[in-house]
Amino acid sequence: TGEYATLLDTELPPIAPMTTRMKLVSFFCGCGGVDLGFRSAGVKVAFASDFNAKAASTYALNLGHAPVVSDIRNVEAATLKAIGDVDVVAGGFPCITFSTAGKRAGVVDDINGKLYLELCRVISTISPRYFVAENVEGILSANGGGAVKLVIAAFLRLGYRTSYELVNMAEHGVPQTRKRVVFVGVRIDQWRGTFVFPKKTQRLANDASAPKWLPIARTLREAIGDLGPPN
């Protein structure tokens, strides 16, 4: 009840406002930020999974779809094939090994660094038309710059042309200075030329190179500062 209920009804409508008849399969789905964007664009979530039960619970409350609580390594091919035709696979594979704040083992980390190969496994099994993956800025320099090349080569071997770009989410309406490398893969039979990333919709206040007609990026206070304490 109250203002939070109104906010949720506005920002997280229980039913997507439109449909493209496209189906999404999501891994490392977390609490659903990426999938909310897809759903808002009319893409139906057909399957989602994350190993964190609390994140999955939040996802279910916000998106009305209960993720499978499981490590991606335990999601079997039969489960994936039972979903049927899939248009998009999304997955933000773990960033801890690529982050500049850690030891930066990169792709030689057998626990986290090779989880992109699990994403490759499910893409190979499902064969979606497209995939979207993301990771931290540090992946560009991890392993002396070799990590990102290896990841791109792995996707190409599966039959996907992949474009990637370092995106500051604050320049696209998110009230947080959050830089992420976004990968967009297109199956070769669907390839129509280089994927063009969306243009910035907002600008950072200290960015002298950004077009002056763009509004300044919102702060967290501007986004939710009017809300009272949660009950």
| Average pLDDT per consecutive 10 residues, the chain (231 residues; last block may be shorter) | 65 66 94 91 93 94 92 91 94 63 46 73 94 88 81 91 94 91 95 90 92 92 86 75
Note the pLDDT of residue 16.
54
Q: What is the pLDDT of residues 185-202, one digit of tens each?
A: 999 999 988 889 999 999
Note the pLDDT of residue 150.
85
29 catalytic residue (yes or no):
no
CA angle 121, 108, 115 (to 5 degrees): 25
Lateral strand order in the sheet of 22-27: 68-69, 43-50, 22-27, 88-91, 130-136, 179-187, 160-168
Question: Token digits for 64?
Answer: 């009305």
Cα-Cα-Cα-Cα dihedral sign, residues 62, 177, 51, 162: positive
Q: What is the pLDDT of residues 82-98, one digit of tens each?
A: 999 999 999 987 755 54
Question: Token digits for 148?
Answer: 């990102």
Please identify which residue in the block is written with the tokens 């409508």.
13
Question: Is the model's pTM score more than 0.85?
Answer: no
Note the pLDDT of residue 104.
41
